[in-house]
Structure 1
Protein backbone atom coordinates (compact mmCIF):
# COMPACT_ATOMS: atom_id res chain seq x y z
CA UNK A 1 0.00 0.00 0.00
CA UNK A 2 1.39 3.42 -0.98
CA UNK A 3 2.07 5.76 1.92
CA UNK A 4 0.18 9.08 1.77
CA UNK A 5 2.33 12.04 0.75
CA UNK A 6 0.67 14.27 3.32
CA UNK A 7 -0.48 13.40 6.83
CA UNK A 8 -3.09 15.64 8.40
CA UNK A 9 -4.82 15.85 11.73
CA UNK A 10 -6.85 18.47 13.52
CA UNK A 11 -6.12 19.26 17.15
CA UNK A 12 -8.74 21.62 18.49
CA UNK A 13 -8.58 24.77 16.36
CA UNK A 14 -5.20 23.83 14.82
CA UNK A 15 -4.76 21.99 11.55
CA UNK A 16 -1.49 20.05 11.49
CA UNK A 17 0.17 18.90 8.26
CA UNK A 18 3.16 16.55 8.09
CA UNK A 19 5.11 16.17 4.86
CA UNK A 20 5.43 12.40 4.47
CA UNK A 21 8.08 11.47 1.96
CA UNK A 22 10.94 10.75 4.38
CA UNK A 23 12.76 8.35 2.06
CA UNK A 24 13.22 11.31 -0.34
CA UNK A 25 13.84 13.83 2.44
CA UNK A 26 10.40 15.23 1.60
CA UNK A 27 11.43 16.35 -1.89
CA UNK A 28 8.43 18.27 -3.19
CA UNK A 29 6.89 16.48 -6.16
CA UNK A 30 3.91 17.78 -8.12
CA UNK A 31 1.47 15.27 -6.51
CA UNK A 32 2.81 16.12 -3.05
CA UNK A 33 2.43 19.86 -3.65
CA UNK A 34 -1.09 19.35 -5.00
CA UNK A 35 -2.08 17.46 -1.83
CA UNK A 36 -0.40 20.07 0.36
CA UNK A 37 -2.26 22.93 -1.32
CA UNK A 38 -5.56 21.03 -1.18
CA UNK A 39 -5.11 20.39 2.55
CA UNK A 40 -4.19 24.00 3.28
CA UNK A 41 -7.24 25.18 1.35
CA UNK A 42 -9.41 22.74 3.27
CA UNK A 43 -8.14 24.11 6.58
CA UNK A 44 -8.35 27.71 5.36
CA UNK A 45 -12.03 27.24 4.49
CA UNK A 46 -12.88 25.58 7.83
CA UNK A 47 -14.35 28.08 10.28
CA UNK A 48 -13.07 26.06 13.25
CA UNK A 49 -9.40 26.08 12.11
CA UNK A 50 -7.60 29.19 13.27
CA UNK A 51 -3.96 28.25 12.70
CA UNK A 52 -2.03 25.73 10.60
CA UNK A 53 1.24 23.97 11.46
CA UNK A 54 3.44 22.35 8.79
CA UNK A 55 6.32 20.04 9.70
CA UNK A 56 8.54 17.31 8.27
CA UNK A 57 10.65 14.67 9.98
CA UNK A 58 13.84 14.75 12.04
CA UNK A 59 16.19 14.56 9.03
CA UNK A 60 14.47 17.13 6.85
CA UNK A 61 11.60 19.58 6.62
CA UNK A 62 11.98 19.40 2.83
CA UNK A 63 15.26 19.05 0.96
CA UNK A 64 13.99 20.80 -2.18
CA UNK A 65 11.75 20.33 -5.17
CA UNK A 66 11.79 16.86 -6.73
CA UNK A 67 14.72 16.89 -9.17
CA UNK A 68 13.03 14.15 -11.22
CA UNK A 69 10.01 16.37 -11.74
CA UNK A 70 12.22 19.21 -12.94
CA UNK A 71 14.45 17.04 -15.13
CA UNK A 72 11.52 15.54 -17.04
CA UNK A 73 9.94 18.89 -17.90
CA UNK A 74 10.85 21.09 -20.84
CA UNK A 75 10.76 24.87 -20.59
CA UNK A 76 7.22 25.37 -21.86
CA UNK A 77 5.86 22.36 -19.97
CA UNK A 78 7.40 23.61 -16.75
CA UNK A 79 6.17 27.16 -17.33
CA UNK A 80 2.60 26.04 -18.01
CA UNK A 81 2.45 23.20 -15.48
CA UNK A 82 1.54 25.36 -12.50
CA UNK A 83 4.33 23.67 -10.51
CA UNK A 84 5.84 26.85 -9.06
CA UNK A 85 2.43 28.44 -8.56
CA UNK A 86 1.74 25.97 -5.73
CA UNK A 87 3.98 28.08 -3.48
CA UNK A 88 1.93 31.19 -4.38
CA UNK A 89 -1.27 29.39 -3.42
CA UNK A 90 0.21 28.48 -0.04
CA UNK A 91 1.28 32.09 0.53
CA UNK A 92 -2.27 33.24 -0.30
CA UNK A 93 -3.79 31.32 2.64
CA UNK A 94 -5.62 33.67 5.04
CA UNK A 95 -5.12 31.44 8.07
CA UNK A 96 -1.74 31.94 9.80
CA UNK A 97 0.74 29.16 8.95
CA UNK A 98 3.55 28.16 11.31
CA UNK A 99 6.37 25.96 10.04
CA UNK A 100 8.36 23.68 12.34
CA UNK A 101 11.79 22.92 10.87
CA UNK A 102 14.12 20.08 11.74
CA UNK A 103 17.08 19.13 9.57
CA UNK A 104 17.33 20.30 5.97
CA UNK A 105 15.21 23.06 4.44
CA UNK A 106 16.77 23.49 1.01
CA UNK A 107 15.68 24.89 -2.35
CA UNK A 108 11.94 24.50 -2.73
CA UNK A 109 11.75 23.49 0.93
CA UNK A 110 13.14 26.86 1.97
CA UNK A 111 10.76 28.54 -0.47
CA UNK A 112 7.90 26.67 1.20
CA UNK A 113 9.03 28.02 4.57
CA UNK A 114 9.09 31.57 3.21
CA UNK A 115 5.50 31.14 2.02
CA UNK A 116 4.56 30.46 5.66
CA UNK A 117 4.11 33.19 8.27
CA UNK A 118 6.19 32.05 11.24
CA UNK A 119 9.19 29.70 11.18
CA UNK A 120 10.24 27.77 14.29
CA UNK A 121 13.62 26.00 14.01
CA UNK A 122 15.26 23.11 15.81
CA UNK A 123 18.98 23.55 16.61
CA UNK A 124 19.97 21.24 13.73
CA UNK A 125 17.97 23.09 11.06
CA UNK A 126 19.92 23.98 7.91
CA UNK A 127 18.72 26.49 5.30
CA UNK A 128 20.06 26.80 1.77
CA UNK A 129 19.44 27.28 -1.94
CA UNK A 130 21.59 24.91 -4.03
CA UNK A 131 19.88 25.57 -7.37
CA UNK A 132 22.79 27.29 -9.13
CA UNK A 133 25.01 24.26 -8.43
CA UNK A 134 22.58 22.32 -10.65
CA UNK A 135 22.63 24.95 -13.39
CA UNK A 136 19.22 26.38 -12.52
CA UNK A 137 17.88 29.20 -10.36
CA UNK A 138 15.14 29.29 -7.70
CA UNK A 139 11.70 29.41 -9.29
CA UNK A 140 9.22 29.59 -6.42
CA UNK A 141 9.93 32.98 -4.94
CA UNK A 142 13.32 32.71 -3.21
CA UNK A 143 15.08 35.49 -5.10
CA UNK A 144 12.30 37.89 -4.09
CA UNK A 145 11.32 36.80 -0.58
CA UNK A 146 14.85 36.04 0.62
CA UNK A 147 16.16 39.45 -0.47
CA UNK A 148 13.34 41.17 1.40
CA UNK A 149 14.02 39.09 4.52
CA UNK A 150 17.82 38.96 4.66
CA UNK A 151 18.93 41.87 2.51
CA UNK A 152 20.84 41.89 -0.76
CA UNK A 153 24.30 40.72 0.27
CA UNK A 154 23.39 37.62 2.27
CA UNK A 155 20.66 36.63 -0.19
CA UNK A 156 23.20 36.93 -3.02
CA UNK A 157 25.70 34.74 -1.16
CA UNK A 158 23.11 32.07 -0.49
CA UNK A 159 21.82 31.99 -4.07
CA UNK A 160 25.05 32.55 -5.99
CA UNK A 161 27.60 30.86 -3.71
CA UNK A 162 25.42 28.22 -2.08
CA UNK A 163 25.94 29.44 1.47
CA UNK A 164 23.87 27.56 4.02
CA UNK A 165 22.61 29.08 7.24
CA UNK A 166 22.55 27.34 10.58
CA UNK A 167 19.54 27.74 12.83
CA UNK A 168 21.42 30.33 14.89
CA UNK A 169 22.37 32.34 11.80
CA UNK A 170 18.84 32.14 10.43
CA UNK A 171 17.41 33.41 13.71
CA UNK A 172 19.98 36.22 13.97
CA UNK A 173 19.17 37.33 10.41
CA UNK A 174 15.40 37.25 10.97
CA UNK A 175 14.55 34.26 8.79
CA UNK A 176 13.18 32.30 11.77
CA UNK A 177 11.49 33.65 14.88
CA UNK A 178 12.99 31.30 17.46
CA UNK A 179 15.17 28.24 18.02
CA UNK A 180 13.84 25.49 20.26
CA UNK A 181 15.50 22.77 22.26
CA UNK A 182 16.28 19.61 20.30
CA UNK A 183 13.12 17.66 19.49
CA UNK A 184 10.79 20.50 20.47
CA UNK A 185 10.25 22.34 17.18
CA UNK A 186 6.83 20.82 16.50
CA UNK A 187 5.53 21.20 20.05
CA UNK A 188 6.72 24.81 20.14
CA UNK A 189 5.03 25.52 16.80
CA UNK A 190 1.84 23.99 18.14
CA UNK A 191 2.07 26.20 21.24
CA UNK A 192 2.45 29.30 19.04
CA UNK A 193 -0.50 28.12 16.94
CA UNK A 194 -2.56 27.68 20.09
CA UNK A 195 -1.91 31.28 21.12
CA UNK A 196 -2.94 32.46 17.66
CA UNK A 197 -6.07 30.29 17.84
CA UNK A 198 -7.15 32.09 21.01
CA UNK A 199 -7.17 35.45 19.24
CA UNK A 200 -9.98 36.80 17.11
CA UNK A 201 -9.89 35.05 13.71
CA UNK A 202 -10.99 38.14 11.78
CA UNK A 203 -8.29 40.15 13.52
CA UNK A 204 -5.57 37.60 12.76
CA UNK A 205 -6.60 37.40 9.10
CA UNK A 206 -6.59 41.16 8.72
CA UNK A 207 -3.37 41.64 10.67
CA UNK A 208 -1.67 39.02 8.50
CA UNK A 209 -2.89 40.78 5.36
CA UNK A 210 -1.58 44.13 6.61
CA UNK A 211 1.81 42.68 7.55
CA UNK A 212 2.23 41.00 4.16
CA UNK A 213 1.20 44.20 2.39
CA UNK A 214 4.22 45.92 3.92
CA UNK A 215 6.40 43.95 1.46
CA UNK A 216 4.63 45.40 -1.56
CA UNK A 217 3.27 48.82 -0.56
CA UNK A 218 5.03 52.13 0.06
CA UNK A 219 4.85 53.15 3.73
CA UNK A 220 2.09 55.73 3.28
CA UNK A 221 -0.12 53.33 1.31
CA UNK A 222 0.56 50.55 3.80
CA UNK A 223 -0.48 52.71 6.74
CA UNK A 224 -3.69 53.69 4.95
CA UNK A 225 -4.40 50.01 4.27
CA UNK A 226 -3.82 49.18 7.94
CA UNK A 227 -6.21 51.96 9.01
CA UNK A 228 -8.86 50.69 6.62
CA UNK A 229 -8.64 47.17 8.03
CA UNK A 230 -8.58 48.51 11.59
CA UNK A 231 -11.79 50.43 10.95
CA UNK A 232 -13.39 47.43 9.25
CA UNK A 233 -12.66 45.01 12.09
CA UNK A 234 -14.12 47.54 14.53
CA UNK A 235 -17.54 46.74 13.05
CA UNK A 236 -17.24 43.03 13.92
CA UNK A 237 -18.95 41.04 16.63
CA UNK A 238 -15.52 39.74 17.62
CA UNK A 239 -14.38 43.23 18.54
CA UNK A 240 -17.39 43.67 20.83
CA UNK A 241 -16.75 40.26 22.37
CA UNK A 242 -13.14 41.21 23.04
CA UNK A 243 -14.02 44.54 24.66
CA UNK A 244 -16.78 42.96 26.76
CA UNK A 245 -14.41 40.24 27.95
CA UNK A 246 -11.82 42.87 28.85
CA UNK A 247 -14.37 44.76 30.93
CA UNK A 248 -15.59 41.61 32.71
CA UNK A 249 -12.06 40.15 33.04
CA UNK A 250 -13.07 36.94 31.29
CA UNK A 251 -11.70 35.17 28.24
CA UNK A 252 -13.42 36.30 25.02
CA UNK A 253 -15.26 33.83 22.81
CA UNK A 254 -14.74 34.70 19.14
CA UNK A 255 -16.89 33.46 16.26
CA UNK A 256 -15.17 35.11 13.31
CA UNK A 257 -18.03 37.51 12.67
Structure 2
Protein backbone atom coordinates (compact mmCIF):
# COMPACT_ATOMS: atom_id res chain seq x y z
CA UNK A 1 0.00 0.00 0.00
CA UNK A 2 1.50 3.35 -1.03
CA UNK A 3 1.60 6.20 1.42
CA UNK A 4 -1.30 8.55 0.83
CA UNK A 5 -2.96 11.59 2.25
CA UNK A 6 -6.68 10.83 2.56
CA UNK A 7 -7.62 14.47 1.98
CA UNK A 8 -8.38 16.72 -0.92
CA UNK A 9 -7.78 15.53 -4.45
CA UNK A 10 -7.21 17.73 -7.47
CA UNK A 11 -10.90 17.40 -8.32
CA UNK A 12 -11.81 19.02 -5.00
CA UNK A 13 -10.35 22.39 -6.05
CA UNK A 14 -11.57 22.75 -9.60
CA UNK A 15 -14.33 25.16 -8.52
CA UNK A 16 -12.89 28.17 -6.74
CA UNK A 17 -15.19 29.88 -4.21
CA UNK A 18 -15.42 33.62 -4.84
CA UNK A 19 -16.12 34.63 -1.24
CA UNK A 20 -13.52 34.90 1.57
CA UNK A 21 -12.76 31.63 3.30
CA UNK A 22 -14.31 32.68 6.64
CA UNK A 23 -17.61 33.35 4.87
CA UNK A 24 -17.38 30.02 3.06
CA UNK A 25 -16.76 28.24 6.39
CA UNK A 26 -19.75 30.02 7.94
CA UNK A 27 -21.99 28.49 5.25
CA UNK A 28 -20.97 24.94 6.12
CA UNK A 29 -23.03 22.67 8.35
CA UNK A 30 -21.96 19.49 10.13
CA UNK A 31 -24.23 17.44 12.35
CA UNK A 32 -21.46 16.50 14.79
CA UNK A 33 -19.10 19.48 14.48
CA UNK A 34 -19.16 23.24 15.02
CA UNK A 35 -16.70 25.09 12.77
CA UNK A 36 -15.74 28.73 12.28
CA UNK A 37 -12.82 30.74 10.93
CA UNK A 38 -11.66 33.85 12.75
CA UNK A 39 -10.10 35.97 9.96
CA UNK A 40 -8.38 38.39 12.37
CA UNK A 41 -6.70 35.67 14.43
CA UNK A 42 -6.31 33.56 11.26
CA UNK A 43 -7.57 30.59 13.24
CA UNK A 44 -9.95 27.79 12.23
CA UNK A 45 -11.95 26.49 15.21
CA UNK A 46 -13.41 22.98 15.14
CA UNK A 47 -15.45 21.72 18.09
CA UNK A 48 -16.60 18.11 18.31
CA UNK A 49 -20.20 17.45 19.36
CA UNK A 50 -20.90 13.74 18.74
CA UNK A 51 -24.52 12.67 18.82
CA UNK A 52 -25.05 10.06 21.53
CA UNK A 53 -22.00 8.52 23.17
CA UNK A 54 -19.18 11.11 23.73
CA UNK A 55 -16.77 9.16 21.56
CA UNK A 56 -15.66 8.89 17.96
CA UNK A 57 -18.91 7.80 16.37
CA UNK A 58 -18.89 6.97 12.69
CA UNK A 59 -20.94 10.12 12.17
CA UNK A 60 -18.32 12.27 13.88
CA UNK A 61 -15.53 10.60 11.91
CA UNK A 62 -17.39 11.23 8.65
CA UNK A 63 -17.91 14.89 9.51
CA UNK A 64 -14.23 15.31 10.45
CA UNK A 65 -13.13 13.73 7.17
CA UNK A 66 -15.44 15.94 5.09
CA UNK A 67 -14.39 19.03 7.06
CA UNK A 68 -10.69 18.31 6.49
CA UNK A 69 -11.21 17.94 2.73
CA UNK A 70 -13.24 21.14 2.65
CA UNK A 71 -10.66 23.05 4.69
CA UNK A 72 -7.89 21.98 2.32
CA UNK A 73 -9.93 22.87 -0.77
CA UNK A 74 -10.86 26.32 0.54
CA UNK A 75 -7.31 27.09 1.67
CA UNK A 76 -5.80 26.14 -1.69
CA UNK A 77 -8.49 28.12 -3.52
CA UNK A 78 -7.77 31.17 -1.36
CA UNK A 79 -4.03 30.92 -2.01
CA UNK A 80 -4.70 30.77 -5.75
CA UNK A 81 -6.52 34.09 -5.36
CA UNK A 82 -3.51 35.55 -3.56
CA UNK A 83 -4.81 35.09 0.00
CA UNK A 84 -3.42 32.99 2.87
CA UNK A 85 -6.51 32.73 5.08
CA UNK A 86 -5.32 30.87 8.19
CA UNK A 87 -2.28 29.94 10.25
CA UNK A 88 -3.80 27.83 13.04
CA UNK A 89 -6.32 25.03 13.41
CA UNK A 90 -7.80 24.33 16.85
CA UNK A 91 -9.59 21.09 17.76
CA UNK A 92 -11.84 21.32 20.81
CA UNK A 93 -15.10 19.92 22.17
CA UNK A 94 -18.61 21.13 22.96
CA UNK A 95 -19.10 18.34 25.52
CA UNK A 96 -18.85 19.64 29.11
CA UNK A 97 -15.77 18.23 30.87
CA UNK A 98 -15.11 15.82 27.99
CA UNK A 99 -12.74 16.25 25.06
CA UNK A 100 -13.46 12.78 23.69
CA UNK A 101 -13.69 9.38 25.38
CA UNK A 102 -12.29 7.45 22.42
CA UNK A 103 -13.51 4.55 20.36
CA UNK A 104 -17.17 3.55 20.15
CA UNK A 105 -17.01 0.62 22.57
CA UNK A 106 -20.58 -0.55 21.95
CA UNK A 107 -19.88 -0.72 18.23
CA UNK A 108 -16.67 -2.65 18.93
CA UNK A 109 -18.31 -5.19 21.25
CA UNK A 110 -21.15 -5.97 18.87
CA UNK A 111 -18.86 -6.40 15.87
CA UNK A 112 -16.38 -8.52 17.81
CA UNK A 113 -19.17 -10.84 18.99
CA UNK A 114 -20.30 -11.44 15.41
CA UNK A 115 -16.73 -11.73 14.10
CA UNK A 116 -17.35 -8.81 11.75
CA UNK A 117 -13.78 -8.04 10.67
CA UNK A 118 -14.86 -5.81 7.78
CA UNK A 119 -16.80 -3.40 10.00
CA UNK A 120 -13.90 -3.14 12.44
CA UNK A 121 -11.53 -2.42 9.55
CA UNK A 122 -13.86 0.24 8.14
CA UNK A 123 -14.12 1.97 11.53
CA UNK A 124 -10.38 1.83 12.18
CA UNK A 125 -9.57 3.17 8.71
CA UNK A 126 -11.96 6.08 9.26
CA UNK A 127 -10.04 6.87 12.44
CA UNK A 128 -6.57 6.83 10.93
CA UNK A 129 -7.72 8.78 7.87
CA UNK A 130 -8.70 11.64 10.17
CA UNK A 131 -5.73 11.36 12.54
CA UNK A 132 -3.11 11.05 9.81
CA UNK A 133 -4.36 14.03 7.83
CA UNK A 134 -4.43 16.07 11.03
CA UNK A 135 -0.91 14.89 11.96
CA UNK A 136 0.50 16.30 8.70
CA UNK A 137 -1.39 19.59 9.17
CA UNK A 138 -3.60 18.84 6.15
CA UNK A 139 -0.49 19.24 3.96
CA UNK A 140 -0.70 22.99 4.61
CA UNK A 141 1.54 25.52 6.43
CA UNK A 142 -0.88 25.40 9.35
CA UNK A 143 -0.12 24.69 13.02
CA UNK A 144 -2.63 22.34 14.66
CA UNK A 145 -3.61 22.77 18.31
CA UNK A 146 -5.61 20.43 20.56
CA UNK A 147 -7.56 22.44 23.15
CA UNK A 148 -8.33 19.88 25.85
CA UNK A 149 -11.00 21.00 28.34
CA UNK A 150 -11.97 17.72 29.94
CA UNK A 151 -11.10 14.07 29.62
CA UNK A 152 -9.23 12.75 26.58
CA UNK A 153 -9.24 8.95 26.73
CA UNK A 154 -8.29 6.31 24.18
CA UNK A 155 -8.90 7.77 20.75
CA UNK A 156 -9.47 11.17 22.34
CA UNK A 157 -5.88 11.10 23.62
CA UNK A 158 -4.70 9.92 20.19
CA UNK A 159 -6.54 12.82 18.53
CA UNK A 160 -4.77 15.29 20.82
CA UNK A 161 -1.38 13.66 20.15
CA UNK A 162 -1.95 14.03 16.41
CA UNK A 163 -1.78 17.82 16.83
CA UNK A 164 1.41 19.89 16.83
CA UNK A 165 0.56 21.50 20.19
CA UNK A 166 -1.58 20.40 23.14
CA UNK A 167 -3.05 23.10 25.40
CA UNK A 168 -4.89 21.55 28.34
CA UNK A 169 -6.79 22.84 31.33
CA UNK A 170 -5.42 21.65 34.67
CA UNK A 171 -8.41 19.43 35.47
CA UNK A 172 -8.16 17.60 32.13
CA UNK A 173 -7.37 13.90 32.33
CA UNK A 174 -5.63 11.72 29.75
CA UNK A 175 -5.43 7.96 29.48
CA UNK A 176 -5.35 4.85 27.32
CA UNK A 177 -7.67 2.39 29.10
CA UNK A 178 -7.69 -0.28 26.38
CA UNK A 179 -5.39 -2.65 28.29
CA UNK A 180 -8.06 -2.85 31.00
CA UNK A 181 -10.14 -4.99 28.63
CA UNK A 182 -7.12 -6.77 27.11
CA UNK A 183 -6.74 -4.63 23.99
CA UNK A 184 -4.42 -1.77 23.02
CA UNK A 185 -4.95 1.69 21.46
CA UNK A 186 -4.46 0.87 17.80
CA UNK A 187 -5.19 4.12 15.97
CA UNK A 188 -1.90 5.93 16.47
CA UNK A 189 -1.02 6.04 20.18
CA UNK A 190 2.13 3.94 19.85
CA UNK A 191 3.30 5.86 16.78
CA UNK A 192 2.71 9.31 18.26
CA UNK A 193 4.02 8.52 21.75
CA UNK A 194 7.15 6.74 20.54
CA UNK A 195 8.06 9.89 18.58
CA UNK A 196 7.22 12.33 21.36
CA UNK A 197 8.85 10.18 24.07
CA UNK A 198 10.59 6.94 23.10
CA UNK A 199 9.47 3.35 22.62
CA UNK A 200 10.13 2.29 26.23
CA UNK A 201 8.22 5.17 27.80
CA UNK A 202 5.46 4.87 25.21
CA UNK A 203 4.96 1.20 26.07
CA UNK A 204 5.03 1.96 29.80
CA UNK A 205 2.34 4.60 29.41
CA UNK A 206 0.17 2.41 27.18
CA UNK A 207 0.51 -0.70 29.36
CA UNK A 208 -0.24 1.16 32.58
CA UNK A 209 -3.87 1.76 31.63
CA UNK A 210 -3.86 4.58 34.18
CA UNK A 211 -5.27 8.07 34.03
CA UNK A 212 -2.77 10.94 33.87
CA UNK A 213 -3.34 14.54 34.87
CA UNK A 214 -2.61 17.38 32.48
CA UNK A 215 0.19 18.46 34.80
CA UNK A 216 1.84 15.02 34.63
CA UNK A 217 1.80 15.15 30.83
CA UNK A 218 3.13 18.71 30.96
CA UNK A 219 6.10 17.43 32.97
CA UNK A 220 6.62 14.71 30.32
CA UNK A 221 6.57 17.32 27.57
CA UNK A 222 3.40 15.96 25.94
CA UNK A 223 1.33 18.99 26.93
CA UNK A 224 2.90 22.30 25.88
CA UNK A 225 0.66 24.75 27.77
CA UNK A 226 -1.23 24.31 31.07
CA UNK A 227 -4.30 26.52 31.39
CA UNK A 228 -6.41 27.25 34.43
CA UNK A 229 -9.82 25.60 34.41
CA UNK A 230 -12.27 27.48 32.24
CA UNK A 231 -9.43 29.39 30.57
CA UNK A 232 -8.58 26.97 27.78
CA UNK A 233 -9.79 29.15 24.92
CA UNK A 234 -8.10 32.20 26.41
CA UNK A 235 -4.87 30.18 26.68
CA UNK A 236 -5.13 29.23 23.01
CA UNK A 237 -5.71 32.85 22.00
CA UNK A 238 -2.79 33.98 24.17
CA UNK A 239 -0.54 31.28 22.66
CA UNK A 240 -1.42 32.41 19.15
CA UNK A 241 -0.88 36.10 19.96
CA UNK A 242 2.50 35.39 21.58
CA UNK A 243 3.67 33.36 18.61
CA UNK A 244 2.07 35.16 15.68
CA UNK A 245 5.43 36.52 14.53
CA UNK A 246 7.02 33.08 14.93
CA UNK A 247 4.45 31.16 12.93
CA UNK A 248 6.74 30.64 9.96
CA UNK A 249 9.59 29.25 12.08
CA UNK A 250 7.30 27.11 14.27
CA UNK A 251 5.49 25.67 11.26
CA UNK A 252 8.84 24.86 9.65
CA UNK A 253 10.07 23.20 12.85
CA UNK A 254 7.01 20.95 12.98
CA UNK A 255 7.49 20.06 9.31
CA UNK A 256 11.13 19.26 10.08
CA UNK A 257 10.02 17.02 12.95
CA UNK A 258 7.75 15.13 10.58
CA UNK A 259 10.66 14.76 8.16
CA UNK A 260 13.09 13.49 10.80
CA UNK A 261 10.53 11.30 12.61
CA UNK A 262 7.91 10.53 9.96
CA UNK A 263 4.69 8.74 10.77
CA UNK A 264 3.46 7.32 7.50
CA UNK A 265 -0.08 6.36 6.62
CA UNK A 266 1.18 2.86 5.89
CA UNK A 267 2.53 2.57 9.44
CA UNK A 268 -0.83 3.52 10.92
CA UNK A 269 -2.61 1.17 8.51
CA UNK A 270 -0.36 -1.76 9.44
CA UNK A 271 -0.86 -1.17 13.18
CA UNK A 272 -4.61 -1.10 12.59
CA UNK A 273 -4.29 -4.63 11.18
CA UNK A 274 -2.66 -5.73 14.44
CA UNK A 275 -5.46 -4.02 16.38
CA UNK A 276 -8.22 -5.77 14.40
CA UNK A 277 -6.58 -9.16 14.95
CA UNK A 278 -6.26 -8.48 18.69
CA UNK A 279 -9.85 -7.23 18.93
CA UNK A 280 -11.24 -10.37 17.31
CA UNK A 281 -9.24 -12.43 19.81
CA UNK A 282 -11.00 -10.94 22.85
CA UNK A 283 -12.94 -13.33 25.07
CA UNK A 284 -16.31 -12.98 26.79
CA UNK A 285 -14.80 -11.64 30.00
CA UNK A 286 -12.86 -9.00 28.05
CA UNK A 287 -16.03 -7.91 26.26
CA UNK A 288 -17.90 -7.64 29.56
CA UNK A 289 -15.16 -5.33 30.87
CA UNK A 290 -15.40 -3.27 27.69
CA UNK A 291 -19.16 -2.95 28.11
CA UNK A 292 -18.84 -1.97 31.78
CA UNK A 293 -16.57 0.88 30.72
CA UNK A 294 -19.05 1.79 27.99
CA UNK A 295 -21.88 1.86 30.55
CA UNK A 296 -19.83 4.17 32.77
CA UNK A 297 -19.35 6.50 29.81
CA UNK A 298 -23.08 6.48 29.08
CA UNK A 299 -23.96 7.28 32.70
CA UNK A 300 -21.48 10.12 32.70
CA UNK A 301 -23.09 11.50 29.57
CA UNK A 302 -26.55 11.18 31.13
CA UNK A 303 -27.72 8.49 28.74
CA UNK A 304 -29.18 5.03 29.27
CA UNK A 305 -26.61 2.41 28.35
CA UNK A 306 -27.19 0.38 25.20
CA UNK A 307 -25.11 -2.40 23.74
CA UNK A 308 -24.87 -0.77 20.34
CA UNK A 309 -26.38 2.08 18.39
CA UNK A 310 -27.09 2.20 14.72
CA UNK A 311 -24.17 4.16 13.29
CA UNK A 312 -24.17 4.93 9.65
CA UNK A 313 -21.45 6.80 7.87
The TM-score bracket by the shorter chain reads: 0.7 to 0.9
TM-score when normalising by structure 2? 0.61
Task: State how far apart, in whole Å, the 2-side matches of 1:197 and 1:101 are.
Answer: 21
Rate the CA distance shift 1:195–1:36 in 2: closer, same or farther, 3 A.
Answer: farther
Instruction: Give the alignment of 1:1-257 within 5 angstroms.
Output: 4-12=31-39, 13-21=42-50, 24-25=53-54, 27-45=55-73, 46=75, 47-56=84-93, 57-73=95-111, 74-80=116-122, 82-85=125-128, 86-92=130-136, 93=138, 94=140, 95-195=142-242, 198=245, 205-216=251-262
Cα distance in structure 2, aligned partners of 1:177 and 1:158: 18
> Displaced runs of 4+ in structure 1, greater than 4 A?
194-201
Contact 1:51–1:194 (Cα < 8 Å) also in 2 = no
TM-score normalised by L of structure 1 = 0.73
Shift of 1:117: 0.6
CA distance in 2, matches of 1:99, 1:108: 13
**Structure 2 residue matching 1:127: 3-state secondary structure:** strand
1:230 match = none
Structure 2 distance, partners of 1:24, 1:151, is 33
Q: Structure 1's 196 and 69: CA in aligned 2 closer, same or farther, altered over 3 A?
A: farther
Q: What is the distance in 2 between the residues matched to 1:87 and 1:14?
A: 19
* Alpha-carbon RMSD: 2.5
Range with bigger deviation, 61-70 or 191-200:
191-200
1:139-165 deviation per Cα after TM superposition (whole angstroms, max 9, x unaligned): 111012112323344422332220221
Bigger RCO of structures 1 and 2 (CA < 8 A, at least 6 apart): 2
Deviation at 1:23, TM superposition (A): 5.5
Runs (5+) with no aligned partner, structure 1: 218-257
